[in-house]
Amino acid sequence: MLSKYPLKNSFFYKCYFRIKNGHLRHRNNIGGVNVYRVLFIIALFICAILSNDTSAVAKESTVVLLIEAKGDVDAAIADVQKVVPTGKVKYRYKHVFNGFSFEISRKEVNKLDKVKHIKSTHEANTYTLLYYNNGTFIGAEDVRTYLDIKGQRLTGKGIKVAVIDTGIDYTHQDLKRRYKGGRDFIDNDDDPMETRSLGSLNTLHGTHVAGIIAGDGKIRGVAPDAHIYAYRALGPGGRGTSDQVIAAIDQAVEDGMDVINLSLGNPVNGPDWPTSIALNKAVEKGVVAVTSSGNSGPSIWTVGSPGTSSKAIAVGASYPPLLLPKVAVKKIDEQFSMLPLQGSVPWELKRDYEVVYRGLGEREKMTDVKGKIVLLERGIIPFAEKAKAAEDNGAVAVLIYNNEEGNFQGGIMGDIKIPVASLAQKDGLKLRKEIAASKTWLATESETIVDKIASFSSRGPVTHSWEIKPDIVAPGVQINSTVPEGYQPLDGTSMAAPHIAGAAALIKQAHPTWSPEQIKAALMNTAKILVDKKGDPYPPYEQGAGRVQVEAALKAETLIYPSSIGIGKVSKQDQRTKKTFKMTIENVSDRSSKLSFTLPENKGGISWQLPLSSTLKPGEKKEIKLGLELTPSVLKEGLNYGSLQVSAGKQLIHLPYLFVVNEPNYPRLANFGFGKGEEEETYMYEVYLPRGADEFGIMLYEADTLRFDRVFDYKKNVERGLLEVQIPKERIGKSGEYIAIIFAKKAGKEDMIQAHLSIP
């Protein structure tokens, strides 16, 4: 029975008390975001509403399921069709997923419980684009004089690269010679053209990605002679489902692709999500799989599937050499870096302007802004609406500061003629404080940024497996490339990944017998370690092995793989823990290579046992063992990391490592949804729990008054993975509009997310 009030001393009671008394500090993890935030509403503090839509959408009457077979797939299909003859097999996978996708009425889903040949089922979820010429900068142009075994220059000639995306404009003058075919999984035909003639739902993303890989005109890609195959798995507005994405991966393997690029993702940080598993299988089939890590930074734990795939190459975004505008507050002698919003006109103000603060950008508050720069807070109102309201009232520019830690990468659409840029939260709050104190003027200056990690780039590590992701970074800010009918600069890890896909194509041409693991090692072993503004190396969960260097990767004489060391989780209560790791070290040159490991900087509680110096003969490959002894009681809780240094002839290889002590502070729940159930007179909700939960629950607050209404559900000892719960209508309680607070508690730590629930 659903309770009217929270049980005293329960989590619900504590949360209710904190909300009632204005003390709720909300840890929000929806959409990969992982920040603390406080919002004042009607004299109460309650969970802040994200700029992305977190409202629960009523589920359709049919659902597409990814069904993993137990043994023979065809036998499972036959059994399922006998039990549910009205269902429809959408895709029968052959290579990367031992199963099929099946469209079925929600009312009949429970019938699948009777099918013995089913191992697991997953509801197909939605994938979206990861928006947010650098061939010379990463060294691609420097290798054009190198020759492959056929005496051809290294341009990616003959290498097949699959672009799984929104399709491509294969008529573009820079791509039409490179396009060799593909498949459309949205319209189910052989014409993978971008979405056109649908206004705001038109797409350009796949065309942009393809240009970075293999443009051969005004835009010169990393591998300008590679063969591009387009697999359209994202339709109008850049949206698609996981069954379509997996179908595209499966078809790419079937078609003999050498490299797959997926510049897409979802917010689920887990190693066992179906798309991540599919990429692992593709790699096992001999395909180099490259995927973007996501655009949900700068917080940690924000990498999303398929960027969590263990065997794929997950790519974060860094800055190429850019001259970017910044604003200076002369009265306090401080400068603030800013990021132009995509679609904005350039920030080219020639003189100082007064800056005024106007809240969230409500049109009624845009008074006395003529001839001034307007500072606004991110949230509630779309960026374009904020900017348009400022422009219509005579403002000369708009600055939008983040409502969470760090800066952000956004975009605007429409005919807005004034520049719009973003600021980091701390800079926006400092500027707001100065405005409140006295009249404040801003001057426009410029700064050169290069080889820094983009704030929007998603950070690792991966939950549960604690693996280091991303594996590597590449330029992903202001990347100019092909779009239908022209060219456009875009930002995002979507733009970083194709740099790596192109680099992989060059290496594959140079070394056609190399495995995906060898190609990944060549890229990671030779990457440049990036440092922050203070000169300190970025953690491996932000940059992986570092920024790609194509020429160095092609010149690599020694490979070590795996190229990062995921040590796992240890307990602080353990007195001493010993770990052993096996790695492959390979001399791929025609001369001997002397190897020596260097002990890392001495850290209390960490003791490495490394191999003695040795010599590898030309072409020799051997397995080595590394030992690690930890004393967890003297180590700090949470993430611990560093790198091992290996000298191999003239090559210096850095191997990043990471482990966690005790249960870390990762997001404990994500992807909450609520709607009608699979059976008559039922409702259901689902939520992803990366590590399970000791306690899990949902409580409802009246949407208009924010008063606590009831406990909606409560469970203990929930297993990890996707939690799906059906609730009979009689247990749902009274209808209405509610704010739902969903929480999960694991090993003494807890997280909450918020959603809007509409109960008919």
Rounded Cα distance, 34 and 282, in Å: 31
In this structure, the number of other CB atoms found within 10 A of the CB of residue 640 comes to: 19
Catalytic residue (one of 26, 117, 172, 205): 205
Q: What is the CB neighbour count within 10 angstroms for residue 702?
A: 14
> 105-121 burial string, b = 16+ CB within 10 Å, else e?
ebebbeebeebebbeeb
Q: What is the DSSP letter of 759?
A: E
Beta strands at 682-689 and 670-676: parallel, antiparallel or unpaired: antiparallel
Strand duo 322-329 + 621-630: pairing: unpaired
For the question of residue 446 being annotated catalytic, the response is no
Residue 14: how many CB atoms within 10 A of its CB?
16
- Rounded to whole angstroms, how far apart are CA atoms 503 and 556? 14
β-bridge partners, 408: none
Mapping DSSP onto H, E and C, the string for 595-655 reads EEEECCCCECCEEEECCCCEEECCCCEEEEEEEEEECHHHCCCEEEEEEEEEEECCEEEEE
Distance CA 417, CA 387 (A): 9
Task: Give catalytic status of residue 197 as yes or no.
Answer: no
- Cα 357 from chain centroid (whole Å): 32
Q: What is the rounded CA–CA span in Å between residue 687 and residue 326?
A: 41
**Long-range pairs for 375-379: beta carbons < 8 A, 24 or more residues apart:** 375/399, 375/401, 375/428, 375/431, 375/432, 375/435, 376/400, 376/401, 377/401, 377/403, 377/428, 378/51, 378/402, 378/403, 378/408, 378/410, 378/422, 379/48, 379/49, 379/51, 379/403
Q: Locate the DSSP E strands across 29-61.
A: 35-37, 39-41, 44-46
Least Cα distance to 128 among 67, 199, 63, 52 occurs for: 52
- Start-to-end Cα distance in the chain: 19
* The pair of three-digit structure tokens given for residue 264, joined into one six-digit string: 């897409």
394 beta partners? none
Residue 277 belongs to what H/E stretch? Answer: helix 274-284
| CA 528/CA 474 separation, integer angstroms | 10
Rounded to whole angstroms, the Cα distance separating 378 from 422 reads 9
Of the residues 26, 117, 165, 305, only one is catalytic, namely: 165
The residues with which 569 forms a beta bridge, in sequence order, are: 660
CA distance 498 to 513: 22
Q: How far is CA 641 from the centre of its chain?
A: 21
Catalytic residue among 242, 494, 563, 643: 494
Active site residue 494: yes
d(CA 102, CA 104): 6
CA pair distance 484, 600, nearest whole angstrom: 50
What's the residue count for the chain? 760
The angle at the Cα of 221, spanning 219 to 227, to the nearest 5 degrees, equals 120
Helix (H, G, I), strand (E, B), or coil: what is residue 433?
helix
Q: Which residues are catalytic?
A: 165, 205, 494
